Amino acid sequence: MSNESSDRLQLLQGTLDMLILRTLLFGPAHGHQIAKHIQRTTDDLLQVEHGSLYPALHRLERKGWIAARWEPAAKDRKREFKYYRLTPAGRKQLVAEESKWKKLTGAVARIMWPAEES
């Protein structure tokens, strides 16, 4: 995979947390699923560094926004994965992050394309 970095976007600082929370809104998922989901939903545009995913998951868990439990996989009952789920606090946090993100992108858009505004 030599064409990796050129057409893929680096994640903005702090965005990963929001994406994880949003992903978990669909239901519990383990680390690999979360990474794949983000990647696929963005048509492989956003490459989640697997190496930065796990520290983020553990950080969110410590803040109490997500909770984790070992459970057998849906497809293969013999294999267990550590499934993360959203907590009520995480839901609230997601709303907050989302509105923050909207404000930020809106502001950036107004500067970048002032004509389209009017």
Partner 1 sequence: MHWWRRKVREEDLDRELRAHLEAEAEEQQESGLSPEQARFTAQRHLGNITVLKETVREAWGWTSLERLGQDVRYGLRLLRKNPGFGIVAILSLALGIGANTAIFGLIDALLLKSLPVRDPQSLLFLAKQAPQGWDPDFYYETYQRLRARQPFFRELAAYGERVRMNVSVDGMAESTMGQLVSGNYYAVLGVPPVAGRVFTPEDDRIPGAHPVAVISYPYWQRRLAGSPGAIGRKVLIDGTPFTIVGVTPPGFFGLEVGDAPEISVPIMMQPQVMPDKENWLGRAHNTVDWLILFGRLQPDVTIPQATSGLQALFRNIQSQLADEIGLGKATWRQEWVEAKLVLVPGGAGLSHLRRPYTGALYVLMGAVGLVLLIACANVASLLLARASARQREIAVRLAIGAGGARVIRQLLVESLMLSGLGGALGIALSYWVSDLLVRFLSVGGPPLRLDLSPDWRLLGFTAGISVATGILFGLAPAIRGAGFELASVLKQGGRGASPPQRFARALSVVQVALSLVLLVGAGLLVRTLHHLDRIDAGFPRGHVYTVSLSPRGSDQKNGPNGPRLNRLYLDLLERVRAIPGVVSASLAGEPPTMRGYGRPFRIDDGRQVVAHQYPVYPAYFATLGSAIVQGRDFGPADMAEGAPLVAIVNETLARRAFPGESPLGKRIVCTGRISIGESGSPCEVIGVARDIPYATLKDEPRNAIYMTFLQAPTGRGEMELMVRAAGNRTGVPAHLRREIAAIDPYLPAFEVRTLANDVDAALMRERLMALISTVFGALAALLAAIGLYGVVAYSVSRRSQEIGVRMALGALPRRVLALVLGETLALAGVGIACGLPAAFGATRLLAGFLYGVKPADPVVFFAGAGLLTATAVIAGCIPARRAARIDPVAALRDE
Interacting residues with partner 1 (CB under 8 A) = 1, 30-32, 36, 49-52, 54-56, 58-59, 62, 79-82
Are the C-beta atoms of 91 and 22 separated by less than 8 Å? Answer: no
Give the shortest CB-30-to-partner 1 separation in angstroms: 7
Q: Which is nearer to partner 1, 56 or 86 (CB)?
A: 56
Give the shortest CB-62-to-partner 1 separation in angstroms: 6
Q: Which is nearer to partner 1, 36 or 110 (CB)?
A: 36
Return the ∠ at Cα 33 (arms to 58 and 79), rounded to 5°: 90
- What is the 8-class DSSP label of residue 8? S
Q: Is 67 helix (H, G, I), strand (E, B) or coil?
A: strand
Q: Which is nearer to partner 1, 1 or 111 (CB)?
A: 1
H/E run at residue 36: helix 31-41
CA–CA separation, 5 vs 24, rounded Å? 26
Q: Which is nearer to partner 1, 36 or 102 (CB)?
A: 36
Give the shortest CB-82-to-partner 1 separation in angstroms: 5
